[in-house]
Amino acid sequence: MLISMLERKELVEEIMYWKEKRNAVLLAHNYQLPEIQDIADVLGDSLHLARATTEVDADVIVFCGVHFMAETSAILNPNKKVLLPDINAGCSLADSITVEQLREWKKEHPNATVVSYVNTSADVKAESDYCCTSSNAVEVVNAIPEDQEILFLPDMFLGSFVQRQTGRENMHIWMGECHVHAGIEPQHIDTVTNNHPNADLLVHPECGCSTSMIYLSGEGELPEEKTHILSTGRMLDYSKQSSANEFIVATETGIIHQMQKQNPDKSFYAANPEAVCPFMKMITLEKVLQSLKEDTHVISVPKDTAEKARTAIDRMVAIG
């Protein structure tokens, strides 16, 4: 539903009033709607938000992201109220593996160390030895002894990237994917690079094109100095620090709002303009306000599950 500038201003003012009244903090992921990003107290990728959630001084955390992120926040903050403004904000990647499937996989590899991408349910994290994000997945795997067998889940593109970067031959990868990132394909890159031949190419390792981009860069068919496989947080850092003026961005399009905001004199092009996560876009200003006023929706994790998952999450936060 479209709202006028006046209505938006009034909504934001009311959100700020209720945020102060509740002693609440707003955390938002880089893929959220622009108006949500603009009112966030903390904005970042999964690793940054996981670290920030343990440092905020508030009674209430309103998590503007998706369900697994709010679960992670609840696990790290058992004495704080964690709210998710839309309970239906899920994740196709997190849904690509269940705890039952992981338990069966572990039976096939009883001595393996389990590394789970943070895009997983609390139940899956509780069955894992380490969590990771795209920011520190390579560092997490490198922290495990080289002769130790690893089960990496659930994203096959990130897993393949990590395996290439670490050279780990004893690493098994779950065949899951984020449907949004998987939908960014080599032909999309071909089209946009032809239109903007001088642009730097920033590719998220979850993308369906990441494998071919690394190969083509190594073969010299893409300029190696202009092709960068980066997490969302590192994309933001790179675009600020780089002397380049044009960037092709191969990840969920929501990040471009922040990139443009931080770099008003630079140009950013979505590798695939249709790479939009419907779950990330579910949270609106109206829902944030309702969440603050009515405690919708409180996210909690059973104590035994939370305690098991906490170990894997703490290891993630400490590495990289």
Main-chain dihedrals φ then ψ at residue 256, nearest 5 degrees: -65, -30
| Edge-to-edge strand list for the sheet holding 150-153 | 130-132, 113-117, 150-153, 171-173
Judge whether residue 249 has pLDDT over 90: yes
Does 207 carry a binding-site annotation?
A: no
Which pLDDT band, with edges at 50, 70 and 90, does 208 fall under? confident
Q: Which domains does the chain have, with CATH numbers?
A: 5-90+280-300 (3.40.50.10800), 94-178+305-318 (3.40.50.10800), 184-270 (3.40.50.10800)
If one compares 67 and 221, the residue with the highest pLDDT of the two is: 67
CB atoms within 10 A of CB 273: 11
Does 29 carry a binding-site annotation?
A: yes
Does 178 carry a binding-site annotation?
A: yes
> What span, in angstroms and rounded, lies between the C-alpha atoms of 46 and 131?
11
Q: What is the pTM of this model?
A: 0.92
Which pLDDT band, with edges at 50, 70 and 90, does 212 fall under? low
* Section 151-172 average pLDDT: 94
* Section 252-263 average pLDDT: 97
Does 136 carry a binding-site annotation?
A: no
Does 119 carry a binding-site annotation?
A: yes
Does 205 carry a binding-site annotation?
A: yes
* Section 83-109 average pLDDT: 97
* Section 40-55 average pLDDT: 91
**Token code pair at residue 33:** 């709607």
What does the pLDDT look like over 112-146, one tens digit per residue? 999 999 999 999 999 999 999 988 999 999 999 99
Does 118 carry a binding-site annotation?
A: yes
Q: Residue 282, Cα to own-chain centre: how many angstroms?
A: 16
Please state, rounded to an integer, the average pLDDT across all residues of the chain. 93
Q: Which residues pair with 27 in a beta bridge?
A: 42, 63
Judge whether residue 1 has pLDDT over 90: no
Does 232 carry a binding-site annotation?
A: yes
Residues 6+ apart with CB under 8 A from 195: 269
